[in-house]
Amino acid sequence: MSKAVEQTKSGITVAHAGLARTPGGQPDTVAQAVHDGDTVAVDPVGNISTRLLGMDAPEVSFTLPDAPDTFRAIASPQWAAFLTDPFAAGTPPFDPPLPAALQADLQTRLGPACAANHARHAQAAATALEGMVDKDRTDRGETLDAFRFFLAFATDVIDRYGRFLCYLNVDTPPGQPHPPTYNERLMSEGLATPYFIWPNIDPFRKQPALTAAVPVPGQPITDPRLDAARQSVKAARAAHLGVCEAADPLTLLPFELRYLGRVTKQAGQVVRSSPDRWVIDLAAGDGKLLAPHRYIDIPLPEDRLFVPSEYIPLFLQQGWTRA
């Protein structure tokens, strides 16, 4: 089935929908669907993907600079060749250029085995998530048609690719507690890396306005769910689980693979974009915003809180400083 929400080649996010449907599955009349002069109830035509918040799983496939419209398996020979040296002559430049310290750090983790390493961890995460979902379904004795997910949203509900940004879980009857989200389960088992992006994690997503969601500079950033997520990552590392396994840990973070492989056009030139989210050290509590390329200065991924560049003026107004 086609996507109900998608991004066009021009970069615009669009959706396809029909008239809303009754509880019995029949389409509404036009009069029923049109609530007033600016509200129409619709039923999406096609599937809607989800993107799990607060975490980042290794990529099964992604685009390469020489084929930006084609998702190619990370296990392919093309990705193996590219990740051997993604800075080789002839590859698109970065705009702005990658700082030397970041490029040097990446090069210590790249090489002929990098793609195979990433692909293996990606398959492990995908297989585990499939197993979690199917176990939740079979434990409840539900058919494929009857099985339902529960999606909890944050500030940003949908991304430019038309995916719901959410904390995904199995749906439960009213009054029954939900188990940990799939987001939390994957991180606790070491199958995904933490990827905390403000304001889409607790405690910030609970705030009624973005201004209230800006943390107080110089004070510890803490919350029961955030603290539990960070501790689960530390526990997975201590137990050498998944991406932290002792023999062959994940060498390249998923978002690193993406910015190495993704290209855009700027002024008619094909370029790659450098990291653009600023980062806060959750372990420091010093009120400082580190420039995007300095995420490597924070060694543990669970201590990184990324802040999209468009929100930096708001943080500066609230007393944060650029380091």
Residues 176 and 71 in one domain: yes
- 118-136 pLDDT, tens digit per residue, is 999 999 999 999 999 999 9
User: Residue 38 above 80 pLDDT?
Assistant: yes
Residues 141 and 204 in one domain: yes
For the segment 17-27, the average pLDDT, to the nearest whole number, is 92
User: Residue 3 above 70 pLDDT?
Assistant: yes
Predicted structure pTM score: 0.92
Residues 84 and 154 in one domain: yes
User: Residue 7 above 90 pLDDT?
Assistant: no
For the segment 171-195, the average pLDDT, to the nearest whole number, is 96
Calpha distance 150→171 (Å, rounded): 5
Residues 9 and 97 in one domain: no
pLDDT given at position 206: 85
Residues 192 and 153 in one domain: yes
> Is residue 79 domain-resident?
yes
The average confidence (pLDDT) of the chain is 95
Residues 150 and 238 in one domain: yes
Calpha distance 26→1 (Å, rounded): 20
- CA dihedral 97→102→103→104, nearest 10 degrees, is 150
Number of structural domains the chain divides into = 2
For the segment 85-98, the average pLDDT, to the nearest whole number, is 97
- 60-77 pLDDT, tens digit per residue, is 999 999 999 999 999 999
Residues 198 and 90 in one domain: yes
Residues 70 and 178 in one domain: yes
> Is residue 301 domain-resident?
no
Position with higher pLDDT, 10 vs 51:
51
- 293-307 pLDDT, tens digit per residue, is 999 999 999 999 999
Relative to beta strand 321-322, strand 288-289 is parallel
Cα 28–Cα 32–Cα 36 angle in degrees, nearest 5: 140
Calpha distance 182→137 (Å, rounded): 13
| 254 three-class SS | helix
Tell me the residue range of the domain where 255 lies.
49-275
pLDDT given at position 2: 82
Reported confidence tier of residue 1, pLDDT bands at 50, 70, 90? low
Reported confidence tier of residue 274, pLDDT bands at 50, 70, 90? very high
